[in-house]
Structure 1
């Protein structure tokens, strides 16, 4: 297994064949995921928010999730996310293949490198999202006639509440294009683990103070449901285009993470 899909809000069933459940033990807790077949290749599906959307963004066990994917040998991750837009060029129903992020979270566990056997490592984040996966997703979207913006800055807030108009004005001034609650620390941990990581952000609404009406979570899910077909087509048409050999720098793993994962897996 080399490819994983991380499903966000509204993405709970990837629709693959011969789906089976698998549990993986990690130093941070157990992870339950599903494995299915697509064009004779096994693909891992991880539901970020758990069954029936039981986990709010700040309670997701991001470290366990990424560690489990690493243990399974995953190299490539396509993540989905429902986002609000602070950019008038990014409209509801459109996709954004994000290229950078701003972090406004407060209480989360952000790294594998907290000292001890993992050491203390300062990881380079010049390219937080895999350029090779981004290119493949954008090319696939163009061929399918799906509106997907090339690049965007994802501003990650703590949640689970939505942002205030004042916060959205601040995010716009700092360059944020879309706003959501799950990019951090997921992208950070994937980068530390040497995984190629990309995010397809689906715009579900204009953000607070821009939208003419108050936002509800039901509206987010409704827009996701309306566009789930395009999202699924984009992901599964992109998968066969992903080469076996990686042509990016994402595989570089700083510190002792690879060694520790291998030792714990063999133990």
Structure 2
């Protein structure tokens, strides 16, 4: 294990940049995982780890030592003082363990099929990560993110996603309207307006592309126009809207509920 104690060490500078700069992450094609849970999720998904960074106090934790032993030998091991680790950590309360991974490679996108979510202009990393985690829990396997969304692989979004990023196919900076042109299912947008139908009145048995915009701004007019149906979530009076993360959870789990009922229904 390589021990580093100098703040001006190039490795320390690189780690700090990856943890705190979206531009640096895009430039290098790398990002940082913070904490044992994310490192464990990456290992479970067989996602290659480039480096594991542990603090001196973090090395005392059995959980961290076990992950260091499980990781492939090709991953570099780096030991930092607690002070240096706090400097490079992307969070205020450092976990004592970080990992560096490559971002997903840019590959030709596959044809769309099955259920998916489309996120338009979701700029809060915590919201985005929570939405991806909800989607994975609801059985969604594909997410399209427009150029207005925050980075899905930023440390904050990764922490909120709790490993969901490793379970989803995520397309960032995508032209969602073009991608949805040949989509074989229905395109449903959570939005008010003429023709909007209550969520609980819809038959969600077939494949659905769910379109969600950030609260306050909503979906772009062009993407809203690409929807086959507007959907509203019935709410008590006096409340105008839900946080987008809450709206995603309500919609996706209503879809899952309907399909579970159909699957488990016994004839007669």
Check whether TM > 0.5.
no
Q: Which has the higher contact order (CA 8 A, sep 6+)?
A: 1
TM-score by length of 1: 0.20
The structure having more radius of gyration, on CA atoms, is 2
Greater helix share, 1 or 2?
Answer: 2
